[in-house]
Structure 1
Amino acid sequence: MPTESQPLRHLGFLTIGSFDEADPGAGHETTLQIIELGEQLGFDSAWVRHRHLQFGISSPVAVLAAASQRTRHIQLGTAVTPLGWENPLRLAEDLATVDVLSGGRLNPGISVGAPRAHDDVTAALYPDSAEHEDFSYQRLARLLAHVRGEAVTGWSGTEGFEEFSDRVQPHSPGLASRLWYGGGRLGSARWAGEHGMNLLTSSVVKAEESEDFAEIQRSLIRTFRAHHPDGERARVSQGLVVIPTDSATPRQRAKYTAYVERRTPRTTAPQGPARLLFARDLLGTSEQLAEQLHAHAGFREVDEVAFALPFTFDHDDYAQILTDIATELGPRLGWKPAH
């Protein structure tokens, strides 16, 4: 647990990778430039969101494959890939391929459940098999088995001039230890712990036992570690929207303030039938932000973070925020760049 005497070990950031429908290439290029900047600033990891049928990254594995060829050190992750849209075996092949290309830097974040807007997309996504698809944790168990190198078929050998394997190829031995579950409820935290995954806890949780966000997040982390083979050493990364203003211009400060004010009302109480609770965005100088984070019950449980960049900002805004996090906020949390 990082306090003022125990340093934050791992500093990351998360971007949605927005783009203009009329010019998607420019948005994807900007995302790659942001990841490159993150490496230059010494961040330990860069994460991209997964957005289907929206103007954000729909294929993060492809984007991270490109990023892997433009960076050398920074860890590359997805936060998160909704498995309901994926075939576990095919996804395992893609993940292993990018992990090999990146030199073992891929950190896939996964979640389970039916695809968002299931009734609207199922005819296009699973036109012939919708009634047979299993969107439970069993779907994730299949992915874990494939990534870990377990057999997927009872046959291997040579047929003609071609050689076949009984497990997913390529196999990247270290990838399984870098699989993360994006969970916001106690059952998910428990399952991820029992199955030896890492845990991504973000700015959205389910209000099951409390309506205090920080308390809920702390409970998720403790539940996860209580069921994980590594116990207190099990890896957890916290993700909050954190916006430092140290080097921001007056225009940027006004823009950031308006953004936070628009989003704050949804943080006051659980939202909808699912009782989702959103964390308040943190805005201020790095000194103020460090004080708030050290007082946050969820933050005090972790030594890894992946601070989320706001969705709708410009490239210059992201560059300012990342620079302030790396040069001002990170050091106040005890972090030092590894590279």
Structure 2
Amino acid sequence: MPPTSRPLRKLGFLTIGLFDEADPRRGHESTLEIIELGERLGFDSAWVRHRHLQYGISSPVAVLAAASQRTSRIELGTAVIPLGWENPLRLAEDLATVDVLSGGRLNPGVSVGPPMHYDRVKEALYAETADAEDFGYERARRLLNFVRGQPATDFSGVEGFETFSDRVQPHSPGLGGRMWYGGGSLRSARWAGEHGMNLLTSSVVKAEGPDDGADGGPDFAEIQLSHIRAFRDRHPDGDNARVSQGLVVIPTDSATPAQRAKYEEYAAKRTPRTTAPQGPARLLFAPDLVGTSADIAERLHAHAAFREVDEVAFALPFTFEQEDYVQILTDLATRLGPALGRRSPAA
């Protein structure tokens, strides 16, 4: 079994936070309970997905504000906020506010590009400016500038009884170093590195770069590895630049036979999309990892991209029950983490 070149330093997890339309509070409470459990189990970070006009978390910043008041140690991240739905100035204010409330634990992950189904939502989202909006990297650059304290206006000082600042308030000095870009392409990886961001990699990449696996098709791990190296080549911190990997990982050590069967069926249904690039964008999906912690650790140690990272945010499956998540998180923290060489926070 090949050794990892970087000992696992940070263990995190990612949840989508689904809810029932008839009882949305229960679903949001379940997400907060999962984050609280993650802290008790010793995870370093908990991340939430962002879903608009769906039955998932539409306001991750608000959810993490609540989580910040129910936890004290675990880092809280978004993976990711699609900036096409956001005003960078207003988002910078929200992010800084939650970072202050959390005591400097917020890790905002963002991405660029047009909102999903833009033609059907643009009139509701940008009624007057729909055809003029820029959904490229400039949107992320503006957000970074505001978060890092660059001026948002040329006016500051006292006007009547009110005092104005020329930069976003509150200003949280460390937040600028905890901004992440969710990228699955060489272009995004290079841009994130050039702008001093951290890089979130997931179970989806664009099939580009190294293109020949053992069977002659694209090799997910090698493509993801090329993105990580391109990112670090452009980043001021070089090989020390932070990268977090987010594969779907389901350990079964303490699972019941019924849970194991459900997990294996879930992964099997998703396997066909991993055999070849999908759609015009040539998106390549990584297989879900299901099995004992020993088996998963062996597969990860053989994964070329995993060997380049020392942080992970393993993604929880979308549609499982709360008891399934409790079992998976418990095994991740108590079985898989140690199998990957991670030391517990108390060690």
TM range (shorter): over 0.9
Q: 1:4 to 1:154 in 2, by over 3 A?
A: closer
1:92 corresponding residue in structure 2:
92
**CA contact 2:205–2:224 (8 Å) conserved in 1:** yes
Cα shift readout 1:168-227 (whole Å, capped 9, x = no counterpart): 000000000000000000000000000000000000000012211000100000000000
Q: d(CA) in 2 for partners of 1:63 and 1:50?
A: 11
Alignment counterpart, residue 296 of structure 1, candidates 292, 303, 306: 303
Preserved CA contact (<8 Å) 1:44 1:337: no
Q: CA deviation at 1:4?
A: 5.4
Determine the C-alpha separation between the residues in 2 that align with 1:4 and 1:295: 8
Any unmatched runs of 5+ in structure 1?
Answer: none
Corresponding residue number in structure 1 for 2:107: 107
- Structure 1 segments, 4+ long, off by >6 Å, are none
Alignment partner, residue 257 of structure 2: 250
Whether 1:230 aligns to 2:234 is no
Aligned residues: 338
- Looking at structure 2, the residues matched to 226 and 51 of structure 1 have their Cα atoms a distance apart, in angstroms, of 32
Residue identity in the other structure for 1:126 = Y
What is the alpha-carbon distance in structure 1 between the residues aligned to residue 173 and residue 313 of structure 2? 25
* Structure 1 residue 132: Cα displacement: 1.9
Q: Distance in 2 between matches of 1:277 and 1:315?
A: 29
In structure 2, relative to structure 1, the CA distance for the partners of 1:4 and 1:202 (3 Å cut) is: closer
Per-residue deviation at 1:6? 5.1
SS at match of 1:132: coil
Question: Which deviates the most, 130-139 or 102-111?
Answer: 130-139
2:59 maps to 59
Residue in 2 aligned with 1:20?
A: 20
Task: Output the amino acid matched with 2:292.
Answer: T
Q: Which SS does the other structure have where 2:131 is aligned?
A: helix
Q: CA deviation at 1:7?
A: 2.4
TM-score w.r.t. the length of structure 2 is 0.96
> Which stretch shifts more, 92-101 or 132-141?
132-141
> Partners of 1:186 and 1:163 in 2: how far apart?
44
Distance 1:116 1:36 in 2: 31
SS of residue matched to 2:235 = coil
Hey, what does 1:284 align to over in structure 2? Answer: 291
Q: Does 1:337 align with 2:337?
A: no
Question: SS at the partner of 1:229?
Answer: coil
Answer whether contact 1:225 1:231 (CA < 8 A) is retained.
yes
Verify the 8 A CA contact 2:6 2:308 in the aligned structure 1: no
Which whole-Å CA distance do the structure 2 matches of 1:3 and 1:213 have between them? Answer: 19
TM-aligned CA deviation for residue 337 of structure 1 = 2.5
Paired residue type of 2:21: E
CA drift at 1:338: 1.9
Check the 8 A contact 1:193/1:225 in 2, yes or no: yes
Partner of 1:323: 330
**Equivalent in the alignment of 2:179:** 179
Structure-2 separation of matches of 1:294 and 1:23: 42
Q: Is the 8 A contact 1:11 1:330 kept in 2?
A: yes
Per the alignment, do residues 5 and 115 of structure 1 end up closer, same or farther by CA in structure 2, a change over 3 Å counting? closer
Of the structure 1 ranges 312-321 and 127-136, higher mean CA displacement relative to structure 2 is found in 127-136
